[in-house]
Amino acid sequence: MKAMTKTVFTVGLLALLMVVPAFGASINKSIKVEAGSESGGATSVNGSITVGADAVVTGGVKTVNGSIRVDSGARIENASTVNGGVRIAENVQADNLSTVNGAVKVGESAVVDGEIEAVNGGISVKKDAKIARDVSNVNGQIDLSGAEVGGDVSTVTGDVNVVDGSVVKGDLIVEKPSNWGWGNKNNRKPRIVIGPGSTVEGVINLEREVELYISTTANVGGVSGVMSMDDAIRFDGNKP
């Protein structure tokens, strides 16, 4: 189901970007929003987009084939790409971040007022960053290091690390792969680690078997699905 949802997202983004020429935006070159400036948005097809430090972008930041980088202290709305990563630096404020093929990296003390979505790519969120809603992908590692997520954290085949006192206010979900999905990755058990002082306020909902490690000083609301808390490996120290 998650993979199908991501496919719909991909088609929707491509359809949106097909109208780029009508708005006179860039097609085959990269775009840079200068540091400290203001912009109504930035859209490309075959090019990367960079938003300089402390810039304010009141519209979306979108591309198809290219990465998106937002430097420290900038403010943007949605940032989305198909083939490329999304990287926002420290103290950035954004709405939603999404990519199909690429990683999403969120710097320290950044604020994402919406959600983070990826299909084939890892997601990392650094210390004191806050994500208001969900963090999800299909393939790729999810790392929360001293971060707060206001919604759920979910994956299908990826490892998940909730460490350094991170807080997940929703559930942590590992979905069962679809039959048409992702090759041999289906056979590997994802590795889930809830580190010292970290919290999952909801439940760890497992639709497939995983390698589950929970620190003796972590707090979780329970384990449900095909595994239970009795199946978790409890550990002392910083790492299992």
**Per residue in 40-75, pLDDT tens?**
999 999 999 999 999 999 999 999 999 999 999 999
Tell me: pLDDT of 26 over 80: no
Question: Looking at the domain assignment, is residue 112 inside a domain?
Answer: no
Q: Domain boundary residue among 56, 90, 107?
A: 107
Question: Looking at the domain assignment, is residue 240 inside a domain?
Answer: yes
Tell me: pLDDT of 205 over 90: yes
- pLDDT 10s digits, 123-159: 999 999 999 999 999 999 999 999 999 999 999 999 9
Same domain? 93 vs 151: no
Q: Three-state DSSP class for 98?
A: strand
Rounded to the nearest integer, the mean pLDDT of the chain is 90
Question: Looking at the domain assignment, is residue 45 inside a domain?
Answer: yes
Which of 18-22, 140-144, 145-149, 174-178 has the least mean pLDDT? 18-22
Q: Domain boundary residue among 63, 85, 107?
A: 107
Same domain? 145 vs 64: no
pLDDT, residue 179, reads 61
12-30 average pLDDT score: 55
Domain count, the chain: 2
**Residue among 110, 233, 152 nearest 97 (CA):** 110
Domain with 51, as residue range(s), is 1-107
Question: Looking at the domain assignment, is residue 128 inside a domain?
Answer: no
Residues 6+ apart with CB under 8 A from 183: none
Q: Domain boundary residue among 107, 127, 152?
A: 107
Beta bridge partners of 117: 98, 136
Question: Looking at the domain assignment, is residue 6 inside a domain?
Answer: yes
